Structure 1
Amino acid sequence: MNLLIALIPALCWGLNPTIVGKIGGKPIQQQLGTALGATLFAVVIYVVMHPELTPSLIIGCIISGAFWSVGQLLQYKSYGVLGTGKAFAISTGLNLVLNSLFGVCVMGDWAKANQKIIGFAALAVIICGAVLTSYSENKEECDLKKGVLILLIAAVGFTGYSCAPAFVGAGGIQAVFPQAIGMIGGSLILSLLESKEIKKFDAVTFKNMIPGLVWACANIAMIYANKLNGVAIGFTLSQMAVVVSTIATLVILKEKKSHKELVHTILGTIVVAIGGVMIGFTK
């Protein structure tokens, strides 16, 4: 059951890029819409559940949300540079490396030798799968370098987002509301750095509240998964979203791929799935 909970974010986050792509808008509009949707979800949860909040928990989760705002905005920007499917695949690999290393080195995950062997082998398999899905016959080195740099910084943001709640022992329900404060606050600050010509609260911004609600469902499941399984396992399994995202971008967004690119994408998706199964054996 614990591992099934850890797979919920994979489904929701995997569909999220496709939903955002169908709605459209500038990255900052997508960001603000996602944050608003997640905040609405958080307010409802807080009013209904009345979770007990401590000062340390509030601070830790606000920091988590602020880190997320940086990571998510940069990920949205990377879609325009690399394409949704390719950017999400590369993002998956970078997030896996940073989050898992943090979980193992700082949080004490994979304490036993056999867990480390299986875990790091699984990471290598998943990263190889992500690289395969990102294969492109059209080599655009400048765009690739720019995209990877954007996603590397985004991965740092996502690492702070996923690990900060663990430092204060935040449970799923408790973390949602203060985390949303950090998300919307960070997003609003980042919006001030964008061009004034972009309408920050246009109709498309509010349409992007839909992926925000989808994201929120994944978020609460991942917080629970990290608490139940550890950061390395919880976050790693959530990155199985690359499988869902790859299929969704091909079927729904209809991203064009050559026969060779399609073969690499399908093979990479299978490899990622195998790595995800391997992660389960570290529990």
Structure 2
Amino acid sequence: MPISVGTQLAFVTLVSGIFLLEWTSVFVALLSILALAVILVGVLLVTKTSKGKGAVAKQVILFLCISSAFLMLYVTITSYFGIHGAQVFLPQSIGMFVGGIIISMKKITQLKLKAITRNIVTGSSWVIANTTLFAISSSLGVGVTYSFSQMSLLVATYGSIILLREKKTAGEKRSVYFGTLVYVVGVIGMSLLK
């Protein structure tokens, strides 16, 4: 999750600054890149493991970059075409519905009502997150809004430790604590640019 968040933030910040012209001056561009660098240092610290265990394979990083690139398109393309607020949801809903049907066609016999019902909760959470993201991005800009939305890194990191009981050494815990602090400082720094 932290690596995915880092690549998503890098892509969205750079595209929103360069192509959506959210960087209003060279000074703002430099500060945005500095804030992004601080965020990425935080992400690296959060993902740091002792003795190289849990190293991420190059293929996994490639897939995360592809995923992040398409997520960046998903977040930025509406602003590029000047589509804001409620105008976004019907076309996206149709696309997600059709895409979901196509993806599930291969394994239609494996669909279980219990699993579908449980996933309605995650889908509802996605709707709330998406609605607020697109509603606010028109006033704050995609780069700032998306940076704040990725505070989910904190939930994922601490949730995996507390709820999923992911084991961490004392050094890894210190790295996670310091990394999340650095990450938050970077996100706050990014938000001050608006």
In the alignment, the residues of structure 2 paired with residue 146 and residue 218 of structure 1 have an alpha-carbon distance, to the nearest angstrom, of 29
Partner of 1:249: 160
Q: If the length of structure 2 is used for normalisation, what is the TM-score?
A: 0.90
Contact 1:172 1:221 in 2 (8 A): no
In the alignment, the residues of structure 1 paired with residue 108 and residue 48 of structure 2 have an alpha-carbon distance, to the nearest angstrom, of 35
Output aligned runs, 1:262-277, within 5 Å. Answer: 262-277=173-188
In the alignment, the residues of structure 1 paired with residue 190 and residue 85 of structure 2 have an alpha-carbon distance, to the nearest angstrom, of 22
Partner amino acid, structure 2, of 1:173:
A
Output aligned runs, 1:163-174, within 5 Å. Answer: 163-174=76-87
Selected match of 1:157 from 53, 70, 85: 70
Partner of 1:215: 126
Q: If the length of structure 1 is used for normalisation, what is the TM-score?
A: 0.63
Partner amino acid, structure 2, of 1:188:
I
Selected match of 1:260 from 148, 156, 171: 171
In the alignment, the residues of structure 2 paired with residue 274 and residue 249 of structure 1 have an alpha-carbon distance, to the nearest angstrom, of 22
User: Are 2:64 and 1:144 aligned?
Assistant: no
Cα distance, 1:108 vs structure 2: 0.4
Partner amino acid, structure 1, of 2:101:
L
Contact 1:122 1:276 in 2 (8 A): yes
Partner amino acid, structure 2, of 1:262:
K
Q: Number of residue pairs matched?
A: 193
Cα distance, 1:269 vs structure 2: 0.7
Partner amino acid, structure 2, of 1:95:
Q
Partner of 1:199: 110
- Unaligned runs of 5+ residues in structure 2 are none
In the alignment, the residues of structure 2 paired with residue 133 and residue 239 of structure 1 have an alpha-carbon distance, to the nearest angstrom, of 14
Deviations 1:137-181 (A, max 9, x none): 35355x532321221111012011101211332222222222111
Contact 1:118 1:281 in 2 (8 A): no
Identical amino acids, percent of aligned pairs = 27
Q: Which moved more, 1:167-176 or 1:234-243?
A: 167-176
Query: Could you say what secondary structure the match of 2:110 adopts?
Result: coil
Selected match of 1:232 from 119, 143, 148: 143
